[in-house]
Structure 1
Amino acid sequence: MAKPEAAPESAAERAPVKLAFWTLTAMVVGSMVGAGVFSLPARFAEETGVAGALIAWAVAGTGMLMLAFVFQSLAVRRGDLDAGVYAYAKAGFGEYPGFFAAFGYWASACVGNVTYWVLIMSTVGALVPALGDGDTVLAVAVSSVGLWAFFLLIKRGVKEAAAINRIVTVAKVIPIVVFVLLALFSFDPGVFADNFGGADYAGSLFGQVQGTMLATVFVFLGVEGASVYSRHAKRRSDVGRATVTGFLSVFAIFASVTIVSYGIMPMGEIAELRQPSMAGVLEAAVGTWGTVFVSVGLIVSVLGAYLAWTLMAAEVLFVAAKDDDMPRFLGRANAADVPVPALVMSTVLSQIALVVVLFSEDAFDFALNMTSALTLIPFLLAAAFAVKVAAGRGGASRGTSGEIAISVLATVYTAFLLYAAGLRYLLVSLIVYAPATVLFVMARREQGRRLFSPAEAVLLAVSIAGAAVGVVALAAGWISI
């Protein structure tokens, strides 16, 4: 009697697509170089002059470099953990905090994707007034079409999407470098000197620096891109190398874009520019063609970043579901190794956030700041876990004094970012976090487990109370979106 054929291996059980070092590096660069860099001149000029900008970039660059080193170290010392930020939070502080980290990171990626569409529509809105600043009904409708078109593209396969991202990453860095070179050619030392101390509307130097922190967080989101996709790395060591290489490359670009802009126009005029403000700065330097040049570069850049972030968002939900921290349906993948249910949820949340921008005072700034705020708790938990690992209490041997110092600095930096974000965005973040517990409850019920331990119940109560305060504050007009 013939032996029955073995059941075909499911897509979720097949070996994941493997990515090389340069592809992982492109994921990091592609994730960070997106909408944020094109908004930097006005975002900084709204808050600070040259002196504050230099300090802000020194603080942000050092802090984020510490985080990059943290992800590099954890990728090697805890190579058994996939999906980066989420996995580190869970290993360090338990399942419920890990769930919050996974959901917060995923939600931040989805809301961040909205900034891309808002900025594209705002850019085209200079020619088509009906699109406004990306916050009109027509703009949301057109953005929605693009949203679902990318869903269909990514559904075709991770390998194809990663290859496209690698090509787009190169294409989008070129116009940004050209902007810096042209701005340097048109640089006016007198204007730069006038902008050095800040304008009349700028407050204290500390306040100026604090006001830029969420903007720097947003542009550096993606530094953890390689670690999020670590299950696809050909070599685990490539994850850390790609993280640091990508970060250092992008940091130089971001700081240059900000500083050279102060030598083109008075900061008060830069602050009034419509987004993408980089286009307005270049127009002042070289004429109208500068706006066209930056606008085309922006669209290529933003679409590439959107692709990378959508891939990472779905990956986080997928891995969390495989670890039983999300409902099982999110752990399914198709034959092309794409976690389709997680991809659908990511696209749906981005669609909801797109509709919300219709009711915000400043669609782009709100989406940008909200993205940053949602990411801070996952980053803080990951950095704190690195402290435990370096101290020999996180499933690895005790690290060197240098590793301990780096992880402590990264933790202090992310804690400062939470303070800089302010109560407003923390409360709005909790409005997003608290209802997400439904997914955690679904996962626990599927496993027939107790829903919450005493410690988890306390955390749940705190998140619900914070969300309730946030809803009341919004309704009473104490805070706004």
Structure 2
Amino acid sequence: MSSRKIGLVALTALVFSSMVGSGVFSLPQNMAQVANGSALVIAWAITGVGILFLAFSLLYLSRQFPTLEGGIYNYAREGFGELIGFCSAWGYWLCTTIGIVGYVVIAFSALGMFVDSKEHIIFGEGNTLYAMIGSSIFVWLIHLLVSKGIKEAAIVNLIATIAKIVPMVVFIIFSFIAFKLDLFKFNFSDLSLQVPVWQQVKDLMLITLWVFTGIEGAVVLSSRAKNRNDIGKATVLGVVVALVFYIMVTVLSYGVLSRTEIAGLHNPSMATILTHLIGLPGTIIITVGLMISVASSYLSWTLFATEIPFLAAKNGAFPAIFLKTNTNNVPIASLWLTSIVVQISLIAVCFFDKNYNNLLLISSVMILLPYFLVSAFYLKTSLKSGHTKHIFIASIATLYASWLIYAAGLSLLMLSGLLYAFGLIIFFYSYIKHKRKLSEI
């Protein structure tokens, strides 16, 4: 039953799966669109260091504060108060919810590679009426699975995670065989974008952040971990494995096709590149891998999105209705909220003709504040303790999180500000009601 706890392997799979979702399959095109090879290498160096230090921050915080369950919310609340804690929870919930909308959109975009033609567009970029109908069916099937129990869903996710690694390994092997060093050197110094390298690096930041969103998965589900020491281990292990996959997929792609060719590919671009190398089987392998990947990542992120309102409601930051659980110990009100918002978003994607890239940017910018608050809380506690190692790790993590906020740009930050402002209405309503209830006891 769902009261059973989740072990290290399943936790690591949740972290890895939540990060390695649909993003990796579109990563070559997303990056080639804004950066040459030199900017790509610099961006991965910055991201690799920053994201590992953020992972270590989560590892040490999970050990220093073992009673703070659902970390990404409670760390912010513990360090900076109820209102800031709510903002972290709200931003994280929006990030995960918008992110899982993006998962199903890119999945049906991939199916369009098989069934669409110039005369008949069925799935398009995942934003047609047919795509919306198919996506909606998928959303409610996952809703049903998660409602059966967190433990059971985690096991399904573990199996799916193993299955989706295979297409990525196939892509890496064939790309390595076809890799041309001269072509990579040409892409490395490509000047056709006519944009300074540092600006290209900055433009890559939200893309690299997007593919690592989910790093906090084990911490969010900390209350359901079998062993608390597994939380930090799962986080670091998941990040290291994901980082290796991402670097290999993108760097090898720059040695197979020119940057401009990759930039013009239909997403998922990994499918098109592998098709270029081995023909139709390449499209099939990557598309099947993408569908499995989307299913498992959607499942992981639904677990996270379901857990956060439940945890926040315990402290009155979310309405008390989100404390409701079903017979399988699943926060059922939170699950219904997430599924309904995803459904509404899918309808909006269809009618407003939005695509995966739009969702990617919105989801990424909403996670900036929660990640900054985690690293800032770690820095705050480390400065109090005076421990040099922890101060160093926390400083690098905070610097990285601050750089991400700067790299996001003014327009996206303004959008996130509007979304946070809307959330404040929920906070003040819930918090005032919660305080009144406590005063009556």
Task: State the TM-score, normalized to the length of structure 2.
Answer: 0.95
User: How far did residue 136 of structure 1 move?
Assistant: 1.4
CA contact (8 A) 1:121 1:143 kept: yes
Q: Cα distance, 1:88 vs. partner?
A: 0.7
Within 5 Å, which residues of 2 pair with 1:102-117? 102-117=89-104
Equivalents in 2 of 1:15, 1:262: separation in Å? 45
- 1:355-408 CA distances to partner (integer Å, 9 max, x unpaired)? 23235565110101111000001111111000111112xxxxx15211101111
Q: Residue 118 of structure 1: SS of its match in structure 2? A: helix
1:94 — aligned with what? 81
Max radius of gyration: which structure? Answer: 1
Q: Does 1:85 align with 2:72?
A: yes
Partners of 2:182 and 2:38 in 1: CA distance: 15
1:440 aligns with 2:427: yes
Instruction: Say yes or no: does 1:121 pair with 2:108.
Output: yes
Distance, in Å, in 1 between the alignment partners of 2:397 and 2:194 is 28
Provide the rounded CA distance (Å) in 1 between the counterparts of 2:162 and 2:194.
37
Instruction: Determine the structure 2 residue equivalent to 1:6.
Output: none
Does residue 290 in structure 1 map to residue 282 in structure 2? Answer: yes
The answer for the alignment partner of 1:201 in structure 2 is: 193
Which amino acid letter does the alignment assign opposite residue 220 of structure 1? Answer: F
Q: CA deviation at 1:445?
A: 3.1
Per mean C-alpha deviation after superposition, the further-off stretch among 16-25 and 342-351 is 16-25
Structure 2 equivalent of residue 152 of structure 1: 144
User: What SS class does the counterpart of residue 134 from structure 2 fall into?
Assistant: helix
CA contact (8 A) 2:15 2:214 kept: yes
**Partner SS for 1:113:** helix
Report how far residue 16 of structure 1 moved.
4.7
SS at match of 1:447: helix
| Aligned match for 1:262, one of 254, 262, 287 | 254
- The aligned counterpart of 1:70 is 57
1:317-342 CA distances to partner (integer Å, 9 max, x unpaired)? Answer: 11111222211110111121110000
1:250 to 222, 242, 248: 242
Q: 2:28 aligns with which of 16, 22, 41?
A: 41
Determine if the alignment matches structure 1 residue 375 to structure 2 residue 375. Answer: no
1:223 aligned to 2:215? yes
- Asked if the contact 1:17–1:337 (Cα under 8 Å) also holds between the matched residues in 2, the reply is no
Can you list the C-alpha shifts for 1:177-226, whole angstroms capped at 9, x where unaligned?
11111100111222212111134124111011111111111100111110
Aligned-partner Cα distance in 2 for 1:17–1:27: 16
Q: Distance in 2 between matches of 1:118 and 1:199?
A: 32
Distance 1:165 1:187, change over 3 A: same
2:135 is matched with 143
Q: Does 1:331 align with 2:318?
A: no
Q: Is the 8 A contact 1:120 1:298 kept in 2?
A: yes
Counterpart code for 1:87:
N
Q: Secondary structure at the match of 1:126?
A: helix
Segments of structure 2 that go 5 or more residues without pairing to the other structure are 117-121
Change (3 A) 1:250 1:200: same
Distance apart, 1:17 and its partner CA: 3.4
SS of alignment partner, residue 195 of structure 1 = helix
Report matched runs for 1:405-424 at 5 Å. 405-424=392-411
What is the CA-CA distance between 1:119 and the residue it aligns to?
A: 0.7
Structure number with higher relative contact order (C-alpha < 8 Å, ≥ 6 residues apart): 2
SS in 2 for 1:235: coil
The residue number in structure 1 matching 2:183 is 191
Change (3 A) 1:202 1:171: farther
In the TM superposition, what is the alpha-carbon distance from 1:125 to its structure 2 partner? Answer: 0.9
Q: Decide whether the 8 Å contact of 2:3 with 2:151 is kept in 1.
A: no
Relative to the length of structure 1, the TM-score reads 0.87
2:119 counterpart residue number: none
1:173 partner amino acid: I
Bigger drift between 421-430 and 155-164 goes to 421-430
Which residue matches 2:355?
A: 363
Alpha carbons 2:127, 2:353 under 8 Å: kept:
no
- Of residues 155, 164, 168, the one that matches 1:172 is 164
- Cα displacement (A) at 1:174: 1.5
C-alpha contact 1:26 1:169 (8 A) present in aligned 2: yes
Distance in 2 between residues matched to 1:203 and 1:237, nearest whole Å: 45
**Distance in 2 of aligned mates of 1:111 and 1:15:** 26
CA distance in 2 between counterparts of 1:221 and 1:375 reads: 8
1: CA distance, partners of 2:162 / 2:191 = 36
> What is aligned with 2:294?
302
After superposition, the Cα gap between the structure-2 partners of 1:199 and 1:135, relative to the gap in structure 1 and judged at 3 Å, is farther
SS of 1:324's partner is: coil
| Residues in 2 aligned to 1:352 and 1:437: alpha-carbon distance in whole angstroms | 21
1:279 pairs, out of 226, 250, 271, with 271
8 Å contact kept, 1:199–1:268: no
| 1:29 aligns with one of 8, 16, 20 | 16
> AA paired with 1:142?
G
Q: Judging changes above 3 Å, is the alpha-carbon distance between structure 1 residues 199 and 291 closer, same or farther for their aligned structure 2 residues?
A: farther
User: Contact (CA 8 Å) 1:223, 1:247: kept in 2 or not?
Assistant: yes
> Which 10-residue stretch deviates more, 40-49 or 357-366?
357-366
Seen in structure 2, the aligned counterparts of structure 1 residues 360 and 264 have a Cα distance that, compared at 3 Å, is: farther
What RMSD over aligned residues (CA atoms) do the two structures have, in Å?
Answer: 1.6
The alpha-carbon deviation at position 127 of structure 1 amounts to 2.3
CA distance in 1, matches of 2:2, 2:167: 38
Alignment CA distance shift 1:323-1:448 (3 Å): closer
Aligned residues: 432
Q: Identity over the aligned pairs, expressed in percent? A: 39
* Displacement of 1:441: 2.4
**Which deviates more from structure 2 when the two are superposed, residues 183-192 or residues 364-373?**
183-192
Distance 1:331 1:202 in 2: 53
Question: What 5-or-longer segments of structure 1 have no aligned partner?
Answer: 1-13, 393-397, 451-481
> Secondary structure, in 3 states, of the residue corresponding to 2:67?
coil
Corresponding residue SS for 1:436 = helix
